[in-house]
Amino acid sequence: MATEETVSAGESKTVTANSIIVKVEAGDSALKSAGRRLLVTVLVASIMMNLMFLISTMFSAVSGSGGDSVPTSHHSGDKGSKAKLAVINFSGMIMPPYTERWLKQIQAAAEDDNIQGVLLAVDSPGGLVADSHQIYRELQKLRTKKPIYVAMKRLAASGGYYISMGIGPEGKIFAEPTTWTGSIGVIIPRYNATELASKIGVTVEPLVTGPLKDTLNPFRDMRDSEKLVWDAILKDSFDRFVGVIQENRAGLDDEQVRALATGQIYTTNQAIENGLVDEIGYEEDALDALAAVLQLDSYEAVQYATEQTLMDLLLGGKSATPRNMLEEFLDTTTPKALYYSSWNPWVPTTSR
């Protein structure tokens, strides 16, 4: 005996009396399966991060590592020469924990009487507004004691250019022929996922004490009142960037800087034409020029380094601060003003 049972709208299927029909919603099943896999991945990653943190903590307790000393190594020049020039490598995104390391290196150069001049080797797309300004301020202090030059490498853009202004108008900026620089401006990342949320049935309803508490929420459109608030924040950071360049680049006034501050990346030749860079040259050229200003017949260039912790080794040198997955997720949702040369600051960048 045969029966007929509807399995989907407009379709039918003939089956035997003993058949069992199991209705499966393919889309829902795939979504739930993907969700379970994601949760398992997050759980495993969180466990691994916490295990590495525990191991690192135990190792530090035993070895006594993590002191405040800033080790140096020979970079170039006459090894053993009493007169020394320090090279500080700003490589990677300007953000914790690297900011603290660079600040220590700047302070070490300021306090070392053997260091007569400092070269900033910049290879950075920029980073956090606050961190860029912290480094800039510390360099301002250093330049009152010793001359500072800059050698730009692959990329010295946005925050990478901002910190370069710390050398002052008396400093000199060298850039390699293929360097990209500029990208003067501010970005606050925001994603609009309202359409995606509606498709998968997600509704975000945070409990807040004021209309601006959940501003930048990616699951709803931004209100006009919120845009006004963020425009003011952006303007404050942007005006500070413009002012820093005007103050430290002789020959560039406010109007000229603002004309250049479109977010555009400039080649070395363009940067020289626009007064953003002084000369085409490499690290060794910048060091020789700095030594000439100091009237040094002989010098040794030393570079600062940070002793790697066990966690640095475990994570391939990408992070010195282990955090669990929840902390990582919450960090990506925190509003951040950036001097950064990309629309997407969450692409991983390493510090070398």
Distance in angstroms (rounded) separating the CA atoms of residues 88 and 310 = 23
Q: Quick one: which of 348, 307, 322, 287 has its CA closest to 78?
A: 287
Tokens, residue 279? 């000369």
d(CA 31, CA 210): 35
Does the pTM surpass 0.85? The reply is no
> Which class for 291: exposed (0-12), middle (13-18), buried (19 or more C-beta within 10 A)?
buried
Q: For 239-281, how does the pLDDT look when each residue is reduced to its tens digit (9 = 90+)?
A: 999 999 999 999 899 999 999 999 999 999 999 999 999 999 9
In terms of DSSP bridges, do strands 338-340 and 126-128 run parallel, antiparallel, or are they unpaired? antiparallel
The CATH superfamily of 70-192+200-340 is 2-enoyl-CoA Hydratase; Chain A, domain 1 (3.90.226.10)
- Classify strands 180-182 and 265-267 as parallel, antiparallel or unpaired: antiparallel
Active-site positions read 158, 213
| Span 135-158, pLDDT tens digits | 999 999 999 999 999 999 999 999
Angle 26-63/325-332 helices, nearest 10 degrees? 110
Q: Which of 24-28, 72-76, 202-206, 326-330 has the highest mean pLDDT?
A: 72-76
